[in-house]
Structure 1
Amino acid sequence: MHGKGPTCESQRRASSEGLGLLARLGNDMFTARLTRSLLNDVTGAPEHYVGSIALALGCIQRSAGGMALLSLVPSTVHSISSLAKSSIANLQVWALSGENG
């Protein structure tokens, strides 16, 4: 998802859904590490990448869930909610899509 410029909507959605499915296939430790990594990338990343992260986080929570992610739910919700309050309309849309997973 991280590249030199904005990705098209279908690429974002496919990549995010793919990460969600990958998290489901992995064990709890893998899923937790993937989620933590994405949460760490939210701060300071370019706008198009942050929108993709929000969507991916929602897809991971929806697809994998589980006890391993229980402790990360508050951080995930906080990150996605903060992005949804952004003054950048495009970022709001992707963050709200992430909330819906």
Structure 2
Amino acid sequence: MRQAAIFLGAAMAEIAGCYAFWGWLRLGKPLWFAAAGMGSLFVFAWLLTLVDVAAAGRAYAVYGGVYVAASLVWLRFVEGVPPDRWDLIGGAVCLVGASIILWGPRSA
């Protein structure tokens, strides 16, 4: 459960950080908005170092699936756009793939 919380926190931090840059460059938000985004991206990178996996690449692969699903939550609750059924199916597939990578049996 701890790992899931870390991945979710990392996803929210990355999405918020990237959205801050989007807001600055595309929506006319002030420069401090981008600066806050850099802080959020720092938190994202730090959080990914806390997951209990042996290889960074595996952590990034699992994170990718969580990121896709979290992006759909952001789409709905921050941007106000409801995901369609294809968004939801795609997000579910990504989470299944992330779960297989994270919890699949490994030989030593």
Instruction: Tell me the TM-score normalized by structure 2.
Output: 0.34
Give the TM-score taking structure 1 as reference length: 0.36
